[in-house]
Structure formats: C-alpha cells, structure tokens
Structure 1
C-alpha cells in the first residue's frame, strides 16, 4: 500500500479544510511561509561515511560502505554506485516491514538518478584493476521518522555520507604486477571519494484547487497535495533531474518558477553541507593528533637546580679540604722548624718559606669539583 494513500486516510475532513484555508492566507500549519524551507541539522558519526539529517520532524540516517567486486562487462573501467532504502514501521505506521513499497522504490530511484545521471561521483577513479576489480560504493538510507519530504532529507543524508566516506588505498604488486594489495588505515591514510558537485533534490507540492505552490511539504501537507514536482539542481544552477509522478498537470510557467526556486535553495543547502563536512574533517584531523605534555621548562629548571647543587658541593668540599690540608702543612712546617733550631737563621727562614710554598701548592691541587679530588689525592700520595 502506498504510504501517501494511507496517510490520506488518517486525516479528517476538517484537518484537510484547515490546511487548505491556511494556505489561502499564505500561512502553513507549522508557521512557515509557502516558500520557506525547514531547518536542516546535519550530524556525523565517529566512523567515516555515516551521517544523520534532521529536517524538521523528518529524521534520516545514511551509511556508505565500499567493497571490491568485478565490474560490469560494458563498463570495465568504472566502479559502481548502489543505493538501498529501508522503511521501518517505527518511522511511520503506514510503512510495511519486509519488502520495500512503492514510495521506498521511488525514493531510491530519485536519489540514484540525481547522482548517477549527473555523474556527481567520479566512478572511473573507483577502478583498481581494469576488467577485474573495482570499488562498489553502497549507500544505505534508513528512515527513522517520517515528518514529510523524505526525498530531500534522504538526498542530503546521502551527499553528506559520501563526502565523509574514506576507502582504503590499493596498490598493485606481486611478480606479474596484477596482485591487488589493500592497505589498512593504520598503514596508509584512506582516500576520499571524488565528488564533482552536489545534486540537491528540492520537493514542491501543489495544494488546493488552485494549485498553491509550497516548498518542503510536511507530513500533513503531503496528505492533501494534488501534485508534486521534484527538481534536482546543483549550486551552479545545472538541472540534474526532474521527477513528476502522477497528480494533476503543472503548466510550463510553474515548472520554470520551481526550477528558479530550486536553484536558490540548492545554493543554501550546499553551503550547509560543506560547512558541516568541513567541521567534521577538522574534528577528524584533531582526533589523530597525539598530544604530549611539554616538560622542557621543568627539565631546564631541574637541570639548573642540579648544577647549583653540584656547584655548592664543589665549593664546600673544596674549601673544607683546602683548609684541612693547610692546617696540616702548618703543623709539619712547625715541626721542621723546631727540629732545625740549631741551624742558622738563613736556613730556618728558607725552610719556612719552602714549607709555606709547598703547602700552598698542595692546597691549590684540591680546588675544583669532585672530579679533581681523586687526581689531587693521588698526586699527594705520589709525593
């Protein structure tokens, strides 16, 4: 069963009339103007290639993974881009579990057409070995809560996940040069995907008998809309895809007006996506930086303290040793003078001068640091 029909059955006649009457006065039930977009919140997980987008009450998560597979026979030099959607009954009771419904298939095709037909992702760069191995990039979109306009939210989630995905680097080796070596992230930095531009999907709804145009319809507005147009446009104003499935006809002037509005919305949404991705890349780079506390100042201070302590020990030790030996030399000189008291005065004076000069020379040998003590004591024993 189509999710839109199930949603339409849950609305009462009074609710439908209230929405249409409010739009006649250029008002919407959530307080926005007819051409006003809801607030977009983009978050990322800690792993590369995971995104979470919240558009009002609509909540979508996107995950991107890669795998080495054999290429298609008609495109042996190009990788693959696959999109899968998952609609859970927890997001909306109208979603049936198991097999995807019509709305799930339509959402996946619109996102796939915008990325593939516009060649936003460089699939040739995903080729590892021509005709044998290429990278298959898989995008899984999980609908967490359906608050309306799932296509725009899923498209933003897919783009954000693609921009943050990193694939392992591959090289060719072996004897014949045909062996593929996949390097782990610890060995080589993973490589991002080459994305040329961002195709942004903008949904327009036509409500009431007069076909009132609104941007970014809510869950209740989708239940009463008479038609819908989805334009996929990039920031340069290039039209990547247009989807008009069923409903009442839309004149050409209305289509051109929608394309102009879509170009303006695409510029704003592209800036938000790039800003969020840039903030994530900065945070990712900071997580890889290993911080160590700087101890240079403490080491220098500690080194100066050690030098001062050594200097103090040298000064104290040298002064004590020199004082001790000077006193000892004085005693020796006095004994020499008393033993030679019978000699003449000239000999006594000469002996006293010689003893004093010898004591001064020996005292000078003990001046300095601890490294000179051993040499000085050996010099003393030698004499």
Structure 2
C-alpha cells in the first residue's frame, strides 16, 4: 500500500513557510543536510546519511577478460535497488519511475563521466582487466536519495583498494594484502550531485536537497552534477516548471560553491579514516 498523499493543511503549511524562506527542518533554502560518512572495516564499504536518508555503498573487484572492442579498458558496473526497507513507496521486483531515474543518473555521473580511469584497470591487454562493481543499498528514504547515493558511491570508489598485481610475460600474480599494500583506484575527478526542488508558485523559494515532503509537493526537480574543478558532468530536469536562463546560471554557481565545500569534507573524512587504519596496523 502506498502512503497517503500529504494532506491539504500539510501542503498549505509547507508552501506558506517556503514563501518566507523557512523550511520545516530549520534549514535555509539553499542549505544541504550535513553528510555523515561512516566507513566499514573493509575498504570500499561506506554508509552515507543526509538527515534520515541513508545509502550504503560497497565496491569489490575481480579479474575478467575484456570485451574485444575495448581490450585496454577495465569494466565498471553499478547495481542499485530500492527495497521496501527504504520506504513503503517501493515494491520488491517492480522498479518505480523514481528508481529508474536514479539508476540512470548514477550511471551517467559515476560511470559515463569517466570518474575512474578505465585504462588503469588493464592488467594484460586483451586478456585480463579489473571489473569494478559498485553496489548501492538504499536503507532509508527521507528525500533526495539521488544526491546521497551519488556521494556514497563516489566516496566508496575513492576509499576502495584493489589487490596489487605483478605481470611477468603472460603470467599474472595477484598479491595478498599481507604481501603488498593494496592499490587505490585511479580517479580522474570527483563528481557530486545537487538536486533543487521547484514549486508551482513563482513566489515560492526553490530549495536545495529537498526532504521527502518537499520533493513530493514540488512541481519539478533540477539535478546538476559537477566537480570541485567547476567541470559540469550531467544536468537533469524533471517536471514542467520552466526555468529562465538566469535561474539556471544561478543554480550552477550555487552548485559550484557547494561542490568545493563537499569535496573538502570528503577528503578530510578519508584522511581521518586512513590515519585510524594506520594506527590499528601499528
């Protein structure tokens, strides 16, 4: 059973608050929920939380034979599924429209933007390459699962270490972590995703990182993916709210600033986790 739609008083209260640039959780219109990154004992295991929205990402690698049309490149695949555990909106085995949209966007942001250097995953041209598999588990939906999943997936890829390999002739030797230190993936850039919600009334302030209620009552969503180097990766607009050019440029400038802040937070958390692991090894 799908949950009932927001009641009329809920709608009116939300819209009247947004007209005064107020949000129900106390944030400013263009303020994101502070991401909380939790790392597992295994490298490549990350849980990301945006408020009560939670997504777990896990990365693993195995050696495979590359396709003949791309003998010098490794493979990257992304698997995600939103189960009823995240929200009663979703049914097992029946992907919703939102789930399909999120999956496609994640593929564009994390794989097709060449965030990971695929040529660095080649072990023996035409014979052996690394297949990197990113699995995303949606644990709770409190709005804006796309941005949370994108952040979780990107941090998991940066956190992951693959086994070191040695190639002598046609012989490939995979070294255990106890023999040689695992090798990080070669990352070209770190894309982040930012979603804005727009509402039917032009006097209503658009919001960044919408909650579930804001997302459900919005007339359209605008998602933009870019990195801290100001490089635009993906733009996606859902809904029928027309956006003038100056509004789109304003959104891009806001996203550029947020990407820099988010990049600093991610790098700091990765350094903290790596420092803790070095202490444990000693």
Which structure exhibits the higher relative contact order, with contacts defined as CA atoms closer than 8 Å and separated by 6 or more residues? 2
Q: Give the count of matched residue pairs.
A: 281
2:149 counterpart residue number: 154
Query: Does the 8 A contact of 2:66 with 2:127 survive in 1?
Result: yes
* 2:278 equivalent to 1:280: no
Matches within 5 A, 1:219-368: 219-289=212-282
- Which shifted more, 182-191 or 47-56? 182-191
For the residues of structure 2 that align with 1:260 and 1:92, how far apart are their CA atoms?
A: 33
Name the one with the larger strand percent. 2
The partner residue of 1:172 within 155, 158, 167 is: 167
User: Structure 1: any 5+ residue segments left out of the alignment?
Assistant: 290-383
2:45 counterpart residue number: 50
- Which shifted more, 161-170 or 205-214? 205-214
1:115 counterpart residue number: 110
For the pair shown, the structure with the greater C-alpha radius of gyration is 1
TM-score, with length taken from structure 2 = 0.95
1:127 counterpart residue number: 122
* 2:186 equivalent to 1:197: no
1:334 counterpart residue number: none
Query: Does the 8 A contact of 2:159 with 2:184 survive in 1?
Result: yes
Name the one with the larger helix percent. 1
Task: Please list the CA deviations of residues 305-335 of structure 1 after superposition, one character each: whole Å capped at 9, or x if unmatched.
Answer: xxxxxxxxxxxxxxxxxxxxxxxxxxxxxxx
- Which shifted more, 148-157 or 203-212? 203-212
Report the CA distance between 1:179 and its aligned residue.
Answer: 2.2
Query: Does the 8 A contact of 1:20 with 1:208 survive in 2?
Result: no
* 2:183 equivalent to 1:188: no
User: Structure 2: any 5+ residue segments left out of the alignment?
Assistant: none
Task: Please list the CA deviations of residues 273-316 of structure 1 after superposition, one character each: whole Å capped at 9, or x if unmatched.
Answer: 11111111111122211xxxxxxxxxxxxxxxxxxxxxxxxxxx
Query: Does the 8 A contact of 2:219 with 2:239 survive in 1?
Result: no
Query: Does the 8 A contact of 1:117 with 1:240 survive in 2?
Result: no
Report the CA distance between 1:169 and its aligned residue.
Answer: 1.1
TM-score, with length taken from structure 1 = 0.71
For the residues of structure 2 that align with 1:245 and 1:35, how far apart are their CA atoms?
A: 19
For the residues of structure 2 that align with 1:115 and 1:232, how far apart are their CA atoms?
A: 10
SS of residue paired to 1:188 = coil
